[in-house]
Structure 1
Amino acid sequence: MNPAVRTGTPAPDAPHIPVAIVGAGACGLVAALTLRDAGVECVLLERDAQPSGSTALSSGFIPAAGTAMQQAAGIQDSPAQFAADIQAKAHGTAAAHLVAAFSARIGAALDTLQARHGITFEVLDGFLYPGHSVRRMHAVPQKTGAALVAQLERVATAAGADIVTQATVRELWVDRAGRITGVGYERPDGRVEQLRCDALILACNGFGGNPAMVRELLPEMVDALFAGHTGNDGSAIAWGRSLGARLADLGGYQGHGSWAIPQGALITWAVMMEGGVQLNARGERFHDETEGYSEAAVHVLAQPGGVAWDVFDGPILALARGFPDFCAAEAAGALKTCADAPALAALIGCATEKIIAMNDLSTLGNDQKDSINGVNAPRAGVRRPLLPPYYAIKVTGALFHTQGGLDIDARCRVLRADGTPFANLLAAGGAARGVSGNAVWGYLSGNGLLSAVAGGAIAAETAKGMVNA
């Protein structure tokens, strides 16, 4: 059953709720919690047996500026500085109204989750993620996206939010004036149940799991492994097209250049930021590893066989073992140990001289081009020589999450083709345009959860005004 838009109103005997929310990842759960804090009833419709979504597959790191956690750590930051970092990474192409809105809202959202609802956050220490000028990545103590979702689900249900699982929304109902009147959702046995609502928040998905949409909108990633959630089927875009909504930044996405194969596990980019390098099958470095893990996906896929090796040494391994996802990958056999340069060369299948040279390279050769922009580009030198024993993980580039979708205003209202907002349709997170511009290189670390958490809070505040008007 494909996503559909139906004209009219659900059956009169269908249950009614002030706000319906499609999707119970970070975006939907934060929206529900914000609504319940304001005394507004809501229902989350989640396709899986338990809330997960793209958030559960992520590292769960949320960038935020000016939080109480930063202040306690003595970190000077501000929404303006955060916004500047976002735009610097996107070369000024990110939607300015959303950059301003999200960077201003995210700090208070995390402070509320901690102070009011007891979710403990810590600011990641020891290194900077690419593009961030200060330490602003916040994580729950477990440092996983699954733990973040579990915490959000716990506090949202404690606050009175209702979550209906195994409920895949298939239909949006809209009256002739263009107002959303309800939804229809499919149950595991194939039945479609209906729900009437006064406002609808689409917090559901991107389109990375829809091969046809990827082929149409992201042809450069058509052959890439998709490492995101299968629920990213493009439903929001399908509904938007049927409704005449405007779409934006469909060429933006989060890739990752460090997906362990064949284990299928994410390797933290902290390995690169602390001095690790990526070598191709010839034993050559081929890009500036400190530019960002998203565009690294394209660089890695451009190498022979579409693979690379993450190479690092003991001190970096000690850091990496502080990340549960890395530990899981190591337990699965992803990590290889090489006593010296000849052993590493034998593992990769390249000349030993290439391994010896990896510590000396600081610029791209004249005959090597940046695989995204097609120009000669500087490459970061190793801040200190990597010392044996060496550690290596075979990786490929993967598509994680799309960053384009329904165009929204600063209040997360979905916009029609003429730029006017729908009366009661909102979107945030994967369903909506984000703050990464229209290309892979615009993705600043954490932009996905920034849009989900800040966007969920803003959408809920807007929905509150709609149902209380």
Structure 2
Amino acid sequence: MDYSTSPLFSPLTLPNGAVLKNRLMMAPMTTCCSFHDGTVTENQVEYYRARAGAIGTIIVECGFIDERGPAFPGALGIHNDDCIEGLSLIANAIKEKGSKAILQIYHGGRMVDPKLIGGQMPVGPSAIAIPRPNAPTPIPLTAGEVEDMVQKFGDAARRAIQAGFDGIEIHGANTYLIQQFFSPHANQREDKWGGSRENRTRFPLAVLEISRQMAKQYASDDFIIGYRFSPEELEVPGITFEDSLFLLDKLAIAGLEYVHFSMGYTLRPSIINTDDKTPLIDKFVQMRSPALSKIPVVGVGNVVNRSDAETAVEHGYDLVAVGRGCIAYPDWAEQIKTKDDIQLSINSDQRINKIIPEPLWRFPLVSSMVREISTKKFQSGTYRQTVKDDYENEFVINVELGQNFIKDLTLVNAEELNQVSVKNFNEIKDRILAANSPYVDTISGATSQCEAFKKAVTKAIAESYRVAIIADGGNPDEKTVDVVVIGSGGAGLAAAIEAHDKGASVIIIEKMPIIGGNTNKASAGMNAAETKFQEKVGIVDKKEWFYNETLKGGKNKNNPQLLHYFVEHAPEAINWLDAKGIELSNLTTTGGMSVDRTHRPESGEAVGGFLISGLVRNINQRNIDVMLDTSVTEIEFADGKVKAVTTIDEDGNSQRVNTKAVIVATGGFGANAEMVTHYRPDLANFVTTNHKGATGSGIALLQKIGADTVDMNEIQIHPTVEQKTAYLISESIRGGGAILVSQNGRRFVNELDTRDKVSNSIIALPEHYSYILFDEQVKTENKAAETYISNGFAAQANTLAELAHILDIDPETLESTVARYNTFVEQKEDKDFGRNTGMRHPINQAPFYAIQIAPGIHHTMGGVTINSNTEVLDENKQVISGAYAAGEVVGGVHGGNRIGGNAVADIIIFGIQAGDQAAAYSQKA
């Protein structure tokens, strides 16, 4: 269809006479880049200016109308008159380009995170939390406060008028305050503002009425007032589509210029009655009242191309709002006039050109569209790969490569597979195409299958490289880089990133089929003292304390030179991660530490997956090659220098990689039972928490070129390991307030003593196992606990007595034990075992949980010897030129026992140092 005949580009007159020049709107999407007080930044003004012009109307992101109303960081404010000046800059920037400027107004209600409002609790219609994990319970508004809130919406409407906007959109969707008042789940008031459906319409109607009063008093007759709504709620009881029509009819009678569906897809059917596939817009057209039929309706969701918008109009929408398309293409309305196939992707180097503010760029909505542009050149074509998962399921995949990007993936044998496998493939495909990389996060619960899909892509890329090298007359069995990193755990990835950033060409070689190594299994956090995150929450800590406690925990066997470097550079490593988008700002403690210095993700999730995901994102951004399923068989050392490494892949292909420096970051040997028992016969038959690649191969490689080793018999067992699966139960659970009880129902140790002491205490019990016991509050504050429970590790009960029966423990004894511990928490003194950390809350919030645990092999403190420059040393303590090592492959850092949280610190601190030193060496060599 010629765009000139498309209904999208015809004008529309609203009920009040306002004329929109076309049917296209830019949907309201937060940029997250306002100042801390909600005032406008220059970035926002330029962002909207760039997107105005061809599009008929821009609905500016929602402005919070009250100080307790912002629902996200960097939110735009319209809560006081100081906001008017900045808002006028946005309005003028849009209107000067010829588009209408509408401002959305809202209050987050019970959706507001207390952290965004100075620790205050959010407000809502009733004291009912939104049914999401860790959601705060709102403070119910009094009748007088409801009246005040209506007035605040009116004041916001006045400010929008004074700022020069052409209209406002009342945000009655997305489970924010206005929707909460209409929701039978959120609003269970007994006054005139709640109860019956009729009463629940009072608040949105009052907001509309006061907005109309302000428009009549301060604006021209063509001032636009729209209303956005979410048609259904999943909560029970929740808003039904019939409820929404009831409300919209009343709003239409009161006077509106448009109503705006809030959905992820314009043609979305019911989310309640999933058997009915009829698009809600079709139902809306059929069921709307005479009054409502006179009000234009706006559709939004998954509109990318002109055909998407035209299909929406065909189903009954009068206007179509576009979100991601307008982010990816500031001139989207112009683009669709000539292009029929717009792709929702943004090249990673285009943020500034497309005038996308940095906070918005990092927002998941946008980051999912960012395609990393590779400097490598693929040989264009389609490469068929056959791969299998751990269950011998076979997948035939066509990988289509463009010259510098992954163009498409096709699951050739999809018809032979179940629907879940096909669904998983499609989701991983989307992630790979968006990242332009196979190194993306897997789907929870489908790791093996996802790794197979990703492997097909890595094999196709490798094949493409070989074809391209041969086409250029080169030798595909030989390549040259400045630095080779062996191992892709946290230490290897940190080293590769730092070496790249210091100007070196880098390649990572990993013998396993997946990135991450043992770091994937890390759960507690990263220890560091005197950090900005500790300072922010008022935690007083000293590097000296950190040093002394680590030395004590390591039985005074730690290498002082390495330990000093470790402690001094820990806060810098925290900042290094933060600068790369990997924020570890949530604080807890682990055994052997006296203060909260264990840094972890703000969400409370396990640190390992979070860390690897963030580091891989940085690897992708830098286009650092990763060779998976490839083992290094030899480090070539001649004339006193590292010359090359020899590799072999899973198909038996050998390759020589010329290099000036090698960083070995292959981890320890905790999964090598023969090696463990060689050094520690007493640990025979212990389960191991290590991934199967932790075999000590890097130690052997370095020993071949003369490396010395230290502390090889120092092998740590972790006290809390689920024995059937060898799954480690994080120390953060005990640090969060859990206790250990024996089969007789009593505590027997300071749960946060060092790991060796706690492990030995468990082994000394008659049954050689114990239970880690915690309550709902500990679970809520530690996301790892949810994983343990979902995996079936935990017994669960609503009372301690019920839990005791499940565990075959005397109920009175267990209740007495917990009651005694709770008194210690209140007194901040453990009179039985001297515990003085992690006593955060009494254990008294049902349900209660218990996991049976016993010690397992966890960490090998011994390894090759290095100096504080991470240079590998020979038996005479002389540097082996060009050889560096970091992480668990190294000995000496942790001495005779590793403190929980120190391993993650170790891999990042010394990984950064290895990358820095290897890059500098390679540039001089």
Instruction: Give TM-score scaled by structure 1 length.
Output: 0.84
The aligned residue for residue 589 of structure 2 is 128
Deviation at 1:72, TM superposition (A): 2.8
Do 1:236 and 1:405's aligned partners in 2 also have CA atoms closer than 8 Å? Answer: no
CA–CA separation in structure 2 for the residues paired with 1:83 and 1:40: 33
1:236 aligns with 2:707: no
The aligned residue for residue 107 of structure 1 is 571
Do 1:434 and 1:451's aligned partners in 2 also have CA atoms closer than 8 Å? Answer: no
Of the candidates 680, 698, 701, which is equivalent to residue 218 of structure 1? 680
Deviation at 1:241, TM superposition (A): 3.4
Deviations 1:347-372 (A, max 9, x none): 3334456435535889xxxxxxxxxx
The aligned residue for residue 536 of structure 2 is 72
The aligned residue for residue 778 of structure 2 is 319
CA–CA separation in structure 2 for the residues paired with 1:53 and 1:24: 6
Of the candidates 94, 112, 116, which is equivalent to residue 558 of structure 2? 94
Deviations 1:116-148 (A, max 9, x none): x23223132xx4322223322222345321121
Matches within 5 A, 1:56-455: 56-59=520-523, 61-115=525-579, 117-124=580-587, 127-142=588-603, 143-144=605-606, 145-175=608-638, 177-262=639-724, 264-293=726-755, 295-312=757-774, 314=775, 317-338=776-797, 343-352=802-811, 354-356=813-815, 358-359=817-818, 379-380=833-834, 386-387=843-844, 390-438=848-896, 442-455=897-910
1:464 aligns with 2:922: no
Distance 1:302 1:193, change over 3 A: farther
Deviation at 1:322, TM superposition (A): 2.8
CA–CA separation in structure 2 for the residues paired with 1:460 and 1:263: 35
Q: Secondary structure at the match of 2:538?
A: coil
Q: Secondary structure at the match of 2:751?
A: coil
Deviations 1:168-201 (A, max 9, x none): 22222222x4422221222121222221110111
CA–CA separation in structure 1 for the residues paired with 2:820 and 2:602: 37
Do 1:280 and 1:304's aligned partners in 2 also have CA atoms closer than 8 Å? Answer: no
CA–CA separation in structure 2 for the residues paired with 1:211 and 1:204: 17
Deviation at 1:321, TM superposition (A): 3.0
Deviation at 1:451, TM superposition (A): 1.3
Do 2:562 and 2:893's aligned partners in 1 also have CA atoms closer than 8 Å? Answer: yes
Letter in 2 for 1:411: N
CA–CA separation in structure 2 for the residues paired with 1:326 and 1:104: 32
The aligned residue for residue 374 of structure 1 is none
Letter in 2 for 1:348: L
Deviation at 1:36, TM superposition (A): 1.4
CA–CA separation in structure 2 for the residues paired with 1:131 and 1:223: 27
CA–CA separation in structure 1 for the residues paired with 2:733 and 2:626: 38
RMSD: 2.8
Deviation at 1:339, TM superposition (A): 5.3
Letter in 2 for 1:158: Q
Q: Secondary structure at the match of 1:206?
A: coil
Listed as ranges, the gaps of 5+ residues in structure 2 are 1-474, 822-831
CA–CA separation in structure 1 for the residues paired with 2:921 and 2:800: 64
Q: Secondary structure at the match of 1:358?
A: helix
The aligned residue for residue 15 of structure 1 is 479
Deviations 1:31-77 (A, max 9, x none): 11111111111111112333111111111611122333333333333
Deviations 1:216-252 (A, max 9, x none): 1233322211111111111122224333321112233
Deviation at 1:149, TM superposition (A): 0.3
Between 212-221 and 25-34, report the one with greater CA deviation: 212-221
CA–CA separation in structure 1 for the residues paired with 2:656 and 2:771: 50
Letter in 1 for 2:636: W
Deviation at 1:109, TM superposition (A): 2.3
CA–CA separation in structure 2 for the residues paired with 1:131 and 1:339: 32
CA–CA separation in structure 1 for the residues paired with 2:681 and 2:759: 14
Distance 1:271 1:205, change over 3 A: closer
Of the candidates 509, 514, 531, which is equivalent to residue 50 of structure 1? 514
Letter in 2 for 1:206: G
Deviation at 1:294, TM superposition (A): 5.2
CA–CA separation in structure 1 for the residues paired with 2:843 and 2:749: 17
CA–CA separation in structure 1 for the residues paired with 2:617 and 2:756: 31
CA–CA separation in structure 1 for the residues paired with 2:792 and 2:782: 16
Listed as ranges, the gaps of 5+ residues in structure 1 are 1-10, 363-377
Q: Secondary structure at the match of 1:226?
A: coil
CA–CA separation in structure 1 for the residues paired with 2:726 and 2:784: 11
The aligned residue for residue 4 of structure 1 is none
Distance 1:359 1:59, change over 3 A: closer
Deviation at 1:390, TM superposition (A): 4.4
Deviation at 1:305, TM superposition (A): 4.4
Deviation at 1:346, TM superposition (A): 3.4
Of the candidates 487, 491, 506, which is equivalent to residue 27 of structure 1? 491
Percent identical among aligned pairs is 24
Distance 1:89 1:123, change over 3 A: same
Between 303-312 and 459-468, report the one with greater CA deviation: 303-312
Instruction: Give TM-score scaled by structure 2 length.
Output: 0.44
Deviations 1:253-276 (A, max 9, x none): 443222234455332334334553
Q: Secondary structure at the match of 1:437?
A: coil
Distance 1:462 1:250, change over 3 A: same
CA–CA separation in structure 2 for the residues paired with 1:411 and 1:98: 9
Do 1:70 and 1:123's aligned partners in 2 also have CA atoms closer than 8 Å? Answer: no
Q: Secondary structure at the match of 2:888?
A: helix
Do 2:551 and 2:558's aligned partners in 1 also have CA atoms closer than 8 Å? Answer: yes
Between 161-170 and 257-266, report the one with greater CA deviation: 257-266
Over 6 Å off, 4+ runs: 381-385
Do 1:27 and 1:453's aligned partners in 2 also have CA atoms closer than 8 Å? Answer: yes
Deviation at 1:407, TM superposition (A): 0.9
Q: Secondary structure at the match of 2:633?
A: strand
Larger radius of gyration: 2
CA–CA separation in structure 2 for the residues paired with 1:224 and 1:167: 29
Distance 1:294 1:160, change over 3 A: farther
Aligned residues: 435
Do 1:36 and 1:160's aligned partners in 2 also have CA atoms closer than 8 Å? Answer: no
Letter in 2 for 1:165: L
Do 2:687 and 2:723's aligned partners in 1 also have CA atoms closer than 8 Å? Answer: no
CA–CA separation in structure 2 for the residues paired with 1:14 and 1:390: 59
CA–CA separation in structure 1 for the residues paired with 2:892 and 2:782: 27
Distance 1:357 1:61, change over 3 A: same
